[in-house]
Structure 1
Amino acid sequence: MLSAAALLNATAQILSETSSVSFSLSDVSERSGVNVAMIKYHFGNKEGLLTALLERDANNAIEALQSLVALDCPAEKKLQIHIQGIINAYSKFPYLNKLIHYLAELGSPGARQLVTDVFIQPMIAAYRAIVEQGVREGSLRPINPGLLYYAIVGAADHIFHASYSVRSTLGIDDIDASTKDEYTALLQAVFIKGLKP
């Protein structure tokens, strides 16, 4: 399975360098050093390759979020940790939301269902649990977990997805650790204060 891992890693690299999903399987083969026929062997086709990449990268993030929900700590703290975690995830996998959109909008019915099952529904369930806990504790006001999903995911993803604009908006060439930390603190303050009752 070393060739499958190499193909996934090459796909992740290519997606991190471009704003679209319009690469060819030959690009992946060349980048990975693995024969293009192995893509069909391991994944069937391009969509199979992309769904395997989504499963690999989203599963780690979702498992971390589910562990966070199970922690014995206040909902505000969980939200604070989650915001840091999701920004770290999009920093590490800047293509993740682009991949989700591509599969959800242009993928087969099976790929669209996978996006829902692997990423969206687990996120909504975690947000629902955190909000319900916060309401019980009196630290958060009731809010639709779906709206919270759009707000947090959109804010966490956009700075990395729109990295082409950071020179104009922030006066820097790349998002460095300091900028990422500053953005994390901003979103934590916005969401935690903004969700108070």
Structure 2
Amino acid sequence: MTEFNEKQIEILQVAEKLFADEGFDGASIRTIAKDAGVNIAMISYYFGSKEKLLEALIMYRTSDMKMQLESILGDDLPPFDKIDRLVDLYINRINRHKCMYQIMHFELSTKKRILSMESFMNVKKENTAIFRKIIQEGQDAGVFRTDIIADLIPATVMGTLVHIRNNRAYFEQIYGFDTEEKFEAYMNTEVTKHIKQTIKALLANEN
């Protein structure tokens, strides 16, 4: 896990909010420094450039996933109980770090700027390897289908969540959500239930 000191974390958290609110191009280093209570030189010293700051932010928000996945892998639980924990892990992370995933979705999909994502990709590969082991356990036990594409399961979970959040206005209108609390309650109950049902249906060995 990448280690950041207290001041670096404070800068990263400020940058995260500004990047999400104003976009990467709209958020200036000057504004980030001002809101974080530091000078521009300190940001340059810690991160080098705004692109490097974004790369550090992505690593900060994703590098602890490996430890959480290993915890699920090591738990003595039935395969479908582990799936419940996996789905909860992904949903909780996305709900807790909405700004980060909003930024990542935009930057990685538009490819507007060249980001050095080698460290992030390495972490992602390590996490995927652990995830595959969890799925393999269920397959070895004869509980999960053997023809499932394990790498697409996190994409299914995250794709559903990102779609609903990106189309929040539509869901608020059709369900009459008039407060932040009602929308978040919907995400934490009905959407979570739907995703778990979907993933379990995909994995279930019907033989």
Which bin holds the TM-score, normalised by the shorter protein?
0.7 to 0.9
Correspondence for 1:84 = 88
State the 1:112 CA deviation: 2.2
- Within the candidate set 169, 177, 185, 2:193 is matched to 185
Look up the equivalent residue of 2:75 and give its one-letter code.
L
Q: CA deviation at 1:43?
A: 0.5
- Structure 2 vs 1, CA of residues 5 and 124 (structure 1 numbering), >3 Å: closer, same or farther? closer
> How far off is 1:5 after superposition?
2.2
User: What's the offset of the Cα at 1:86?
Assistant: 0.8
Q: CA RMSD in A?
A: 2.4
Deviations 1:77-113 (A, max 9, x none): 111111111111011101333444425835546x221
Distance 1:194-1:60 versus aligned 2 partners, 3 A rule = same
2: CA distance between counterparts of 1:133 and 1:44? Answer: 43
1:107-146 to structure 2, matched below 5 A, reads 108=114, 111-119=116-124, 121-142=125-146, 143-146=148-151
Q: Deviations over 1:8-44 (max 9, x none)?
A: 11012224435x4332212312321221221101101
Cα distance in 2 for partners of 1:137, 1:5 equals: 42
Would the alpha carbon gap of residues 12 and 165 (structure 1) be closer, same or farther in structure 2, given more than 3 Å must change?
Answer: farther
Structure 1 residues 25, 89: closer, same or farther in 2, change over 3 A? same
**What secondary structure sits across from 1:131 in the alignment?**
helix
Larger radius of gyration: 2
- TM-score, length basis structure 1: 0.84
Give the 5 Å matches for 1:5-24: 5-17=9-21, 20-22=23-25, 23-24=27-28
The separation in 1 between residues aligned to 2:59 and 2:108, in whole angstroms, is: 12
Structure 1 residues 36 and 166, CA gap change in structure 2 (3 angstroms): farther
* Structure 2 residue identity aligned to 1:59: S
Larger deviation: 180-189 or 94-103? 94-103
Q: Distance in 1 between matches of 2:113 and 2:82?
A: 33
State whether residues 66 and 126 of structure 2, in contact with CA within 8 Å, keep that contact through their aligned partners in structure 1: yes
Gaps of 5+ in 2: none
Q: Which runs of 5+ in 1 are unaligned?
A: none
- Aligned residue-pair number: 194
Specify which of 140, 149, 156 is matched with residue 154 of structure 2: 149
Contact 2:20 2:102 in 1 (8 A): no
Q: Percent of counterpart pairs with the same letter?
A: 22
Secondary structure at 1:194 match in 2: helix
Q: Cα gap change, 1:17/1:99 in structure 2, threshold over 3 Å: closer, same or farther?
A: closer
Does the aligned pair in 1 maintain the 2:15–2:32 contact within 8 Å? yes
Over 3 Å counting, the alpha-carbon distance change for 1:72 and 1:61 in structure 2 is: same
